[in-house]
Structure 1
Amino acid sequence: MIGIRQELVGQPVRSLQIMLRTIAQYDSEIAAVIPDGIYADDTRKSVESFQKRHGMPVTGVTDIDTWYAVADEYRRAVIELSPAEPVNPVLQPGQVIRAGERNEHLHMIHGMLRAIGARYASLPEVACNDIHDSNSVEAIRWLQRKAGIEASGDITRLTWKYLARLYRISVGDGTGERAGTRPAAE
């Protein structure tokens, strides 16, 4: 991939453009480019802005050093632009966390319930621990009633599904300000 020049076209150029466009979504100092597979002025300007931003010689030519620097920055940008890695507790098929049981997942479940409780005053308050105590059971029953499922207080995969959804809706990005949304109604 040494020395991509303006007369070059095709998939390597399109790959470069896709990487630069993704980086531009993450870093506004990089000129965006439309991935059309043609190394024209817009691609050259995007490469130049990338080179300038990263302290490289500003040539507008994608030499091997530029290519690798773009690829490295692209990998970082993809991580920043992608959704956060999900946390999926391992609940075995048919596994249930019942009242009084200990389970390490309860630390996370309780934390989620506490965050949701900041938006729903009627949600019973729980302590973050590894015990499905009476307050934890009542909070899960509250959630199950809101979800329209049997309010057993047991934590199942179905309960986790509704807990995860309500957490995502209620908490959003965690800043307390969810653009374009209103506070949750009870």
Structure 2
Amino acid sequence: MKHYIPASFSQGPVTSLQSMLRAIAFVEQQFPVISATGLFDEDTLEAVLRFQKQNYLPVTGIVDEETWDSIASAFINAYRQLPPLSVPPYALDNRSIHPGQSYPALYPIQGMLNGLSSVLDGITAVASTGSLDPTTEQNLRQVQHSAGLPENGVLDRATWEALVRLFRTFLPQQPVRCIDAFDGNHQ
């Protein structure tokens, strides 16, 4: 059975598709760098067609199961080659947080994992406890797996960098519009 991604999707799978194609384009420069708009637009169609042609898939522009799996596999390979660009500083210096330990830096990390749980299989929602509880540990193992790191559930610098890359890839930050409270103009 084939699964098609309708052009009318404005969130979710199309954004993930675009994010994967974007990461692939940074490593394999024959592909166009596209934006993760959430809309299956002309740029996305062109990137899919080029990917299909380059990878000897039927060139249809339709993201069926075979195309999706091939893009996902290429993304994983590309993701492992991408350097962590402008990663926020790791707040723990050279220390690591092990399962069962608590630390204030885990609150925002659990928030990042919660955001990723809405767009990635294998990452589950977790309570913000500030503790490296079993759910947080399992999520970190999944992040480590996707980055080709040792799957130990420990939060260290390499795991932090992998988490930031996933977060920035799948949950791109949108610019915030400022509203002037005095005159209602948007900036």
Q: Normalised by the size of structure 2, how large is the TM-score?
A: 0.45
Q: Normalised by the size of structure 1, how large is the TM-score?
A: 0.45
Larger Rg: 1
